[in-house]
Structure 1
Amino acid sequence: MPLPPIYVPPAAESLSDLVKRIAERDEAAFGRLYRHLVRPVFAQVRESLGSSARAVPVTRAVFVEVWRLAPVSHGRHDDVLGWVTAIAARRADDHLRELGRRQPTVGTGHDGHLGRALVATLRAPHAYVDPGSALPPGTGRSRNLHQTEVPT
């Protein structure tokens, strides 16, 4: 079937365009950025940590941070891949330091917690507060945080 003469194929989105849309809380743009970057970020984190099992929760934490920081960071970074991989490197280093301070335990639910945090952040970014953030008290977590399923 021939294309109508007014058809213009969609232009490819740059990573910078996706971050700008994420800053406007566009969940579909976040999904596309995630699909573009999850493999290189996971590979980087796995290489740093030496374990795929340890890399999963750290990779999720990287993307939670990307979602959280996009509104204040979208204009500052021309190199989105560099920005995201810098977050990944810092998160992996933090994880390694944490492992040095305590013995890892099996079944802590850390991975599930980060998955729920990501879902809660996407559903209600104003209601979720990162426990490590400097936001004022009283802006607690979403009530549905513990009822949310982890995406697969």
Structure 2
Amino acid sequence: MDDSSDRAVAVWRDERSRYLAGLIERVSKHDAAAFEVLYRGTAPALFALAIRVTHTRESAEDVVQEGFIKIWRFADSYDAQKSSPFTWMSSIVKHQALDYLRRNPLTNVYVEELDKRSVGADSENGVVHHSALDVERLHAYLGRLTPGQRQAIALAYFRGQSQSEIAHTLDAPIGTVKSWIGRGLESLRAMVDGRHAPHHGGSC
């Protein structure tokens, strides 16, 4: 791309940012027409962001809907000096998506993956294997883990994400992700063996 093309793209982005900022300002004054225009112009891209995090269309639709509710409610908090309009909106939707995952760690794709695979993953550790426990028991065992442990294990073993990918998805340090997975698997082994799961404390 030559310099003239770069300048054209930069000008287009600046104009779009000013346009979106103007819409957000009108939304802050409860302008429903401006909100509809803002929604139509940005919802597809925000939906793509949500589906990358949640991995299902249904959950992404819920996330975007909730995200726009927050955009409507908090439009007056947007500060053009701190971020572009789309970056601000993306941040709201991403945080909504992460919150959805934390609240619904075994819904949609994870439940589907459990059923489809007949719990046939992680034979090396002997924890999430069909010969050790069935789907119903695995749901119950995972439900006893902390939210962070539960979600990290679900992403690792039912979505095949690497630890760095999990860290990005959950917006957490990779060291924390490693700890969640390690301690979560230790707790699962204890439950599979019929012992009381060790208590590691914390709410992550």
Over the residues paired in the alignment, what is the CA RMSD in angstroms?
A: 2.2
Secondary structure of the structure 1 residue equivalent to 2:74 = helix
Q: 1:97 to 1:48 in 2, by over 3 A?
A: same
Aligned to 2:89: 84
Query: Which 4+ residue blocks in structure 1 deviate beyond 6 angstroms?
Result: none
Aligned to 1:19: 24
Greater helix share, structure number: 2
Give ranges in structure 2 of 5+ residues lacking alignment.
1-14, 109-204
Shift of 1:73: 2.4
Shift of 1:65: 0.3
Q: Please say if residues 47 and 64 of structure 2, whose CA atoms lie closer than 8 Å, have aligned partners that are also in contact.
A: yes
Give ranges in structure 1 of 5+ residues lacking alignment.
1-10, 106-152
Aligned to 1:32: 37
Q: Structure 1: which amino acid aligns with 2:44?
A: R
| Worse overlay, 75-84 or 16-25 | 75-84
Shift of 1:47: 1.0
Residue identity over aligned pairs, in percent, reads: 26
Secondary structure of the structure 2 residue equivalent to 1:24 = coil
What is the CA deviation profile of residues 106-148 of structure 1, one whole-angstrom value per residue up to 9, with x for unaligned ones? xxxxxxxxxxxxxxxxxxxxxxxxxxxxxxxxxxxxxxxxxxx
TM-score by length of 2: 0.42
Secondary structure of the structure 2 residue equivalent to 1:14 = helix
**More RCO (CA 8 Å, sep 6+):** 1
TM-score by length of 1: 0.55
What is the CA deviation profile of residues 72-101 of structure 1, one whole-angstrom value per residue up to 9, with x for unaligned ones? 32556550100000011101111111122x
